Amino acid sequence: MATRNTLEELITEHDVARVVGLSVASVRRWRLLRQGPKYLKIGAAVRYKPKSVMAWLNSRDIRRQTLLQDRLCACLRRFAVLAGVEALRAVLYHVLGKLR
C-alpha cells in the first residue's frame, strides 16, 4: 500500500509552458514582468504549485477582462466633461488591450 505524501507536487517552468501551450521563454518573461502565475524559488530552481497555475489561468478569463473594460469605459463616459479625459481614455484602452 503506497502512502500519499501530504505535500503538493511542484511543477517546473517547462511543465507550465506545456500546459499553456507557449514557450519556456514566455513563462520566464512573465516572471521577469511579474505577470504570470505565482512561483517558488528553491535555490536557483523555479517551481510552481499546480493550484497557482490554475488560479492564474482562471484569472485570464476574457469574459472577466471584458467586463472590467466595459465598466471602466462606462465610468469614463459618465465623467467625460473632465479635462484630459480623452487622453485618460486612450491610456486605459491601451493598458486594457495589453490584458488580452
Cell of 19: 500546459
The predicted structure's pLDDT at residue 1: 47
User: Structure pTM?
Assistant: 0.58
- Only one residue has cell 478569463, namely 61
- Only one residue has cell 490584458, namely 99
User: Dihedrals φ, ψ of 22, to 5°?
Assistant: -125, 175
Summarised one tens digit per residue, pLDDT across range 56-100 is 888 887 776 666 667 666 665 665 555 566 666 666 666 666 555
Crossing angle (nearest 10°) for helices 13-20 and 50-59? 40
The predicted structure's pLDDT at residue 59: 82
User: Dihedrals φ, ψ of 4, to 5°?
Assistant: -85, 130
